Amino acid sequence: MPVYRIDLAYDGTGFRGWARNAGVRSVQGEIEAALARTLGAEVPLSVAGRTDAGVHARHQVASFPAATEIDAAVVLRSLRTMLGPEIAVHDLAAAPEGFDARFSAVRRSYRYFIDEAPSHDPLRSRWVWHRGETLDLAAMNQAAAAFVGPHDFASLCRPADGGTTERTVESAGWERGAVSGQRSAVSQIEGESGVGLLVYSVSAKAFCHQMVRSMVALCVDVGRGRIRAEAVPEILEKRDRNAARGVAPAHGL
């Protein structure tokens, strides 16, 4: 059975997350409905990362099996026509045998944007968390460094049913201003005021539910001076969700 890969991006503002769920609008539901109309049959999508309600994706990967070979170029044009401005399908192509967007992924990377400017910019408020205060970047990077490596992240996330909260973070860090590989986006959101953004970048093979946004919330508490950076390893060692209950807003991710 041939398998096809979809490379896409989306603005998550108007969706209740990626996953299809009866009675609510989801990214998966919109794409599967468009594929069904195009192919004349329902096809289940697999995805590299199931995003929560309000979370965006600059480069998401999905895949689906087809009963027979399809004309990928025709299906791609059809999806682009039907899905509208919130979902952009960059490519659709045949994938290697056995490819599955979820299980074939070797790394997942996330970025979170925080605006420190005193007044918010309404043109970027859909995807930037406006804090309106200057945060201690060095302390936040000290906190983020504690996330790197293998840890039990039970203090920062919830496991899936029957799952584990043990994860290995490959890299994590904050910077103020431009992000490598994101020049167009950063130039747009920095604006003419010269006031940049705080950008959190983190990579791992897999994350558990709300893990990235919990990391951000904890780092912000450190950046505000509410929690010492030296306390972050202790919080992780507690393996207790009550030790760090904060979750950053979805729209900044």
* Domain total in the chain: 2
Residue 152 has pLDDT above 50, yes or no: yes
Same domain, 39 and 156: no
pLDDT, tens digit, for every residue of 113-141?
999 998 888 888 899 999 999 999 999 99
Same domain, 34 and 118: no
pLDDT band at 153 (very low <50, low <70, confident <90, very high): very high
Same domain, 42 and 17: yes
Same domain, 25 and 90: yes
Same domain, 53 and 130: no
Q: Is 154 part of any domain?
A: yes
Same domain, 67 and 123: no
Q: Is 152 part of any domain?
A: yes
Same domain, 84 and 200: no
Q: Is 69 part of any domain?
A: yes
Residue 52 has pLDDT above 60, yes or no: yes
Residue 75 has pLDDT above 90, yes or no: yes
Give the rounded percent of residues in the chain with a pLDDT score beyond 70: 93
- Global pTM value: 0.89
Q: What pLDDT is stored for residue 181 in this prediction?
A: 42
Backbone region of residue 149 per phi and psi (left: phi > 0; alpha: psi in -120 to 50; beta: other values): left
Task: Identify the active-site residue in 52, 71, 136, 221.
Answer: 52
Same domain, 243 and 193: yes
Cβ atoms of residues 183 and 143 within 8 Å: no
Could you say which of 94, 118, 135 is where a domain stops? 94
Q: Is 142 part of any domain?
A: yes
Q: Is 171 part of any domain?
A: yes
Q: Is 100 part of any domain?
A: no
* CATH number of the domain within which 140 lies: 3.30.70.660
Could you say which of 43, 59, 94 is where a domain stops? 94
Same domain, 41 and 156: no
DSSP character string of 142-203: HHHHTTSEEEE-TTT-BPPTT---EEEEEEEEEEES--TT-HHHHHHHH-SS---EEEEEEE
Which uninterrupted H or E stretch holds 87?
Answer: strand 87-94
Same domain, 127 and 243: yes
Same domain, 145 and 187: yes
Q: Is 194 part of any domain?
A: yes
Q: Is 103 part of any domain?
A: no
Cβ atoms of residues 11 and 51 within 8 Å: no
Q: For the beta carbon of residue 187, count every other beta carbon within 10 angstroms.
A: 10
Q: From CA 253, how far away is CA 128, in angstroms rounded? A: 8
Query: What range defines the domain where residue 126 resides?
Result: 108-252
Q: From CA 126, how far away is CA 205, in angstroms rounded? A: 27
Same domain, 117 and 84: no
* CATH number of the domain within which 21 lies: 3.30.70.580
Q: Is 122 exposed, middle or buried (0-12, 13-18, 19+ CB in 10 A)?
A: exposed
Handedness of CA 138, 144, 149, 155 (dihedral sign): positive
Could you say which of 62, 94, 126 is where a domain stops? 94
Instruction: Name the least confident of 3-12, 44-53, 178-187, 195-204.
Output: 178-187
Torsion of CA 136, 157, 239, 198, to 10 degrees: -10
Q: Specify whether 52 is catalytic.
A: yes
DSSP character string of 58-75: EEEEEEEE-SS---HHHH
